[in-house]
Structure 1
């Protein structure tokens, strides 16, 4: 095997919050990571669905973004959006 070509290989400090809450229809288990990457946005991992997205306030305001990123119904996305609006 040839020499591995890295595009980048960085180690960074993160602040991670693990939170679980119950929406109207489903439970959310999230890991929310804050780092100096992603231009001030957060890396939000949904541990139940194995989906993640890089989210900032502009993304929360974008219609359909959470529904698409996490494969959620509009009602479930509104539950998640409401929580994230308090945090982000």
Structure 2
């Protein structure tokens, strides 16, 4: 019996960038995986908590989403991350697939 329908099974060599930095209130350590999968949107991983998301520069401008994804309770901290990711991540201009 075949329980799963395979949607994709890809392998690629990717660029990974590890970035550690501090703000006035916190320290952050992130891994950013640049891949051709997911329309080229990078995978951003918090190395401290393991929380991750696919994110482009435009999405990084949404402070509320940053707070939810990385479970940040201080809006000022989320704004700092938003500013950092808005400058660091590539921009994407595509229409939603779904």
CA distance in 1, matches of 2:59, 2:31: 17
CA distance in 1, matches of 2:28, 2:71: 13
Structure with the higher fraction of residues in strand conformation: 1
Matching residue of 1:29: 29
- Going from structure 1 to structure 2, the CA distance change for 1:62 and 1:87 (only over 3 Å counts) comes to same
CA distance in 1, matches of 2:50, 2:3: 28
Give the 3-state SS of the residue equivalent to 1:81 in structure 2. Answer: helix
Deviation (angstroms), 1:6: 6.0
- Going from structure 1 to structure 2, the CA distance change for 1:50 and 1:68 (only over 3 Å counts) comes to same
4+ aligned runs moved over 3 Å, structure 1? 2-6
- How many residue pairs match? The answer is 87
In structure 2, runs of 5+ residues without a counterpart are 90-98
Cα root mean square deviation, aligned: 1.7
1:84 aligns with 2:88: no
Matching residue of 1:74: 75
Task: Please report the TM-score for the alignment, with normalisation by the length of structure 1.
Answer: 0.85
